[in-house]
Chains A and B, each alone.
Chain A
Amino acid sequence: MPDDFEPLLSLMHQVNEARLRELDQKTPRCPDGPSLAALYLFVAENVQLPPEQVEHIRACPRCGRVLDQVRLHLEAGADGASSDRASTVSRAPARPATAGWFRATLTPAVRRWAIAALLLIGAGVAFWISTPTAMADSALARIAREALVAMQTLDFFNGLTRPPDDPTERAAAEAEIEKLQNRRDDLRRQAEQSPDSAVRARAADDTMKAWQLVCWGLRNIGEFDEALVEASAWVHFTEDCPSIGRQASWYHTVLDDVGSLHAARGDFASARTWYDASIQARDELRQRAALNLPDPVRGRLEHRAQSISPIYWRHFRLAILEGDLATASRWADGVEAILRDYYVGVCRASGRNLAADAPLMQAVAASPQEFQRPREDYTEAEFTAFAATHGGYRPSAAIVAQLRAYWVQKARLLLLQGDTASAADALRAAQAIRPCPLADDYRLDFALPLEVGRLAIIQGHYAAALTQLAGAEAHWGAYHGVDVNGAPVDRPKISEARRAELRLLRGLALLGIDDHDRAVPPLPPGEGRGEGQLPLPPGEGRSEGNVDLAGGRTPSTLPLQHGDGGSGARAATDPARRAEALALIRAALAIPESSINALPPARRTVLKRQLQEWKNLAEHVERNSK
């Protein structure tokens, strides 16, 4: 550093030191230095402390603040075990907390050896399962089920992130991002400096769009840290911009993106915090609507079923990645309650009385046809007419898309919980709901048959699985549509991660057929209910593929909407089919190293372990094919 900056740096140093001295006087102090360190040890590791040290901790104001923070954090539901630990210090001398026998009774060193031993045993069992001569159904089912989490690990952004390995492709993406950043800066200047308020407002909205694309661009090439810096600046701009501020629906969009970037970096606690802030922002938006204060940017406000559900699904994904299925289930229940509330409201506004806690699909079936099967091209005049005659409710393709997504997500959760029969019910419900492609942000055209295929593998119906997976593959390209105003609706192609998942499932299904297919017979013509068919009202009779609206159980075999695949005839060991299965599994494993390395360390480790199991499977097949 050239010397001529020395006076400036010296001035800065003096100013900073003066402030720090002042801060020293204002912040709490511990009477005993190591108290705080002891507290970290206690909170993080549940190490028992001698009573005198506990006394020091309790006497230290700084430790008191830390304990309060731990408790606040835990009261938000993060970790009940640590809550007990924190309470232990604050209320009584240290004693073994209720964090579990394992942590409470073993020293860290013994614990690590025990974990290593358990992992070795687990690996041995996995190897044993995956290496019998005939592939066990249970192994195929387990891999199919776990692939769900593996690919979500790799692809938190729902199929959007794919760091390009090709340098040319990456350079092009970076150039595009730079162009967007320049455009964003120009627009921002206009938004801040134009003398015309209308121009300022328009430029502010365009700035937001450009900024979003910058963040997405960085995210898509795996530059999560840089995207987070951009997103943080974006939050400040949004909050400070007079024509947007915290009242516009842009605000929660920004909060969502920041949360997801934290999630992609593996900081789930921060992600959760931002998601919670987003939920609050969305609710504030609804409260403004109740006071007839319109969204300053988009004008019309959406029902909670449309505006809240997406953020609940983000929370749901976080919980799944953490393996916390109980929490994931609560978020799914939250979406169900919102959707039920919407449809019960529609029914009541249409003069059809229904209990507030009626089953969701019963409420859907009792609602007017337009709300069950909305068109995607209603005009504003038609919407106004609906609102006038249905207590303010308007049919919404977006809400129907959410309803369909709900059943698919619910099925994923049930599969992870091992409840195959209920997962089949959930997928049947999804199949019975009309697709609304223009409103489908979840790419259910791909995701639904993929899940049905997964379920079929788990049930041992391999030929049916192949048919469903072929249906998913037919939809893995980009989606291009046009909305009622002639505006294009474009969605990118399904990501490599999810394509890899599909390849893996196809490979598993081929292996299953090869060994012992138990495909269900095709449905007789006319008996299957195709996409777009409505659930029947209660008591109207059922056929396979219908949703049981009375709440009864359907047979656990899978209804097939596209036949059973025909070619899935039983076959003796077929070298060609095994070779195809092997090629598919190998292709699924060809995930770019850069994609894996872009993951946070903890997620990377989990994913690598899962990929290793797929490799074991491929090697087993290869050995037995020779």
Chain B
Amino acid sequence: MELPETSDEELYARWWAAAATPVERQASADEIDRRHRRRLSGFCYRILRSADSAEDAVNHAFLKLFEKQREFTRTLRAWLWATADNRCKFLLSARQQHKADPLPPELDDPRATDPHSDCVTNDEERALDACLSKLPAEHRRYVELRAFDGFTAEEAAEALGLSLSPAGHNVRYQSILSKLRECLEKTGIRG
């Protein structure tokens, strides 16, 4: 079912509408899932570096979204990301508790297990990763939300729990991008 014009929040309201039939409700949930699951998985994967764990974190966020009616400060998407983010932090913490155990191969970067993956040989990607990792954690996550996940400044701020004016956001974003570009240029990559 195509529901291109409907906002996430409207879809979510349909899920909770008293008069909605199960089929209509499923259609709403399915559309929300379809819109966000992929990028949210990417977001969780960047934190966890494990496809399995990322899937679990995403499932957790969606289950929480639909288990009871939520109120969103700004958008459903920012809420989803913030919830998944918390879950990722927990999974990271739990993983560290067991770090003496041998890790399954996919807990490292899965691309490393695939010698034929062209991503591994992609200098640009590696350089970008290296430069991102040099940023302070909060800056890195802010820029990732905006550049990778397509968040607006307000949504990124909500997902990270920041309180800045709109002008402050732009200054912050441009300053982080400048640092990132500077770092990339040092490695010979034009950004």
- A59 CB–B CB distance under 8 Å: no
The interface size bin for chain A is 35 or more
CB-contact partner of A23 in B42, B90, B93, under 8 A: B42
Stretch from A160-168, A221-229, A570-578 contacting the other chain:
A221-229
Among B22, B71, B138, chain A packs the most CB atoms within 10 A around the CB of B22
Residues of A within 8 A of B71 (CB): 601
- A47 CB–B CB distance under 8 Å: yes
Complexed CA–CA distance, A529 and B41 (Å)? 64
Among A40, A41, A267, chain B packs the most CB atoms within 10 A around the CB of A40
A262 touches B191 (CB 8 A): no
B137 touches A65 (CB 8 A): no
Complexed CA–CA distance, A223 and B73 (Å)? 14
Complexed CA–CA distance, A36 and B42 (Å)? 19
Residues of A within 8 A of B160 (CB): 229
- A277 CB–B CB distance under 8 Å: yes
Contacting residues of chain B (83-109) with chain A, CB-CB under 8 angstroms: 86-87, 89-90, 93-94, 96-97, 106
Residues of A within 8 A of B30 (CB): 33-34, 36-37
Q: Kindly report which residue of chain B lies nearest to residue A258, judged by CB atoms.
A: B89
B26 touches A7 (CB 8 A): no
A65 touches B59 (CB 8 A): yes
Instruction: Give min CB distance, A235 to chain B, whole Å.
Output: 7
For the residues of B in contact with A, the DSSP-based class is helix
Complexed CA–CA distance, A314 and B163 (Å)? 29
CB-contact partner of B162 in A13, A26, A229, A277, under 8 A: A229
- B67 CB–A CB distance under 8 Å: yes
A23 touches B138 (CB 8 A): no
Residues of A within 8 A of B147 (CB): 9, 12-13, 16
| Chain B window 168-188, contacts with chain A (Cβ cutoff 8 Å), 1 for yes, 0 for no | 001001100100110010000
Residues of B within 8 A of A62 (CB): 55, 59
- A324 CB–B CB distance under 8 Å: no
Q: A36-B29, A267-B86 known; 7 other A-B pairs, CB under 8 Å?
A: A15-B128, A18-B119, A19-B45, A22-B119, A36-B30, A41-B22, A236-B137
A225 touches B161 (CB 8 A): yes
- A8 CB–B CB distance under 8 Å: yes
A19 touches B90 (CB 8 A): no
- B56 CB–A CB distance under 8 Å: yes
CB-contact partner of B26 in A18, A34, A280, under 8 A: A34
Residues of B within 8 A of A11 (CB): 124, 128, 184, 189, 191
Residues of A within 8 A of B55 (CB): 27-28, 62, 65
Chain B residues with CB under 8 Å of chain A are 18-19, 22, 25-30, 33-34, 38-39, 41-42, 45, 51, 54-56, 59-60, 62-64, 66-68, 71, 86-87, 89-90, 93-94, 96-97, 106, 110-111, 117, 119, 122, 124-125, 128, 137-138, 147-148, 160-163, 170, 173-174, 177, 180-181, 184, 189-191
Residues of A within 8 A of B128 (CB): 11-12, 15
Supposing A40-B66, A226-B163 touch, asked if A5 and B181 sit within 8 A by C-beta, the answer is: yes
* Cβ contacts A to B, 5 pairs, < 8 Å: A15-B128, A18-B119, A40-B62, A49-B22, A109-B18
Instruction: Give min CB distance, B165 to chain A, whole Å.
Output: 15
Supposing A262-B86, A601-B71 touch, asked if A277 and B93 sit within 8 A by C-beta, the answer is: yes
- A344 CB–B CB distance under 8 Å: no
- A181 CB–B CB distance under 8 Å: no
Residues of A within 8 A of B177 (CB): 5, 8-9
A41 touches B42 (CB 8 A): no
- A531 CB–B CB distance under 8 Å: no
B63 touches A69 (CB 8 A): yes
Complexed CA–CA distance, A269 and B90 (Å)? 12
- A44 CB–B CB distance under 8 Å: yes
Complexed CA–CA distance, A15 and B144 (Å)? 12
- A232 CB–B CB distance under 8 Å: yes
Supposing A20-B39, A44-B68 touch, asked if A34 and B27 sit within 8 A by C-beta, the answer is: yes
B93 touches A20 (CB 8 A): no
- A493 CB–B CB distance under 8 Å: no
A5 touches B174 (CB 8 A): yes
B59 touches A69 (CB 8 A): yes
| Chain A window 590-626, contacts with chain B (Cβ cutoff 8 Å), 1 for yes, 0 for no | 0000000000010000000000000000000000000
- A481 CB–B CB distance under 8 Å: no
Complexed CA–CA distance, A280 and B90 (Å)? 14
CB-contact partner of A43 in B39, B54, B67, under 8 A: B67
- A211 CB–B CB distance under 8 Å: no
Residues of A within 8 A of B184 (CB): 8, 11
- A270 CB–B CB distance under 8 Å: yes
Contacting residues of chain A (29-61) with chain B, CB-CB under 8 angstroms: 33-34, 36-38, 40-41, 43-44, 47, 49
Q: Kindly report which residue of chain B lies nearest to residue A224, judged by CB atoms.
A: B161
B96 touches A226 (CB 8 A): no
Residues of B within 8 A of A28 (CB): 55
Residues of A within 8 A of B191 (CB): 7-8, 11
Residues of A within 8 A of B94 (CB): 277
A15 touches B124 (CB 8 A): yes
Instruction: Give min CB distance, A108 to chain B, whole Å.
Output: 6
Instruction: Give min CB distance, B96 to chain A, whole Å.
Output: 6
Q: Kindly report which residue of chain A lies nearest to residue B143, judged by CB atoms.
A: A12
Supposing A8-B181, A28-B55, A47-B22 touch, asked if A23 and B41 sit within 8 A by C-beta, the answer is: yes
B18 touches A235 (CB 8 A): no
- A139 CB–B CB distance under 8 Å: no
Contacting residues of chain A (234-274) with chain B, CB-CB under 8 angstroms: 235-236, 239, 246, 262, 267, 269-270, 273-274
Residues of B within 8 A of A199 (CB): none
Complexed CA–CA distance, A601 and B72 (Å)? 10
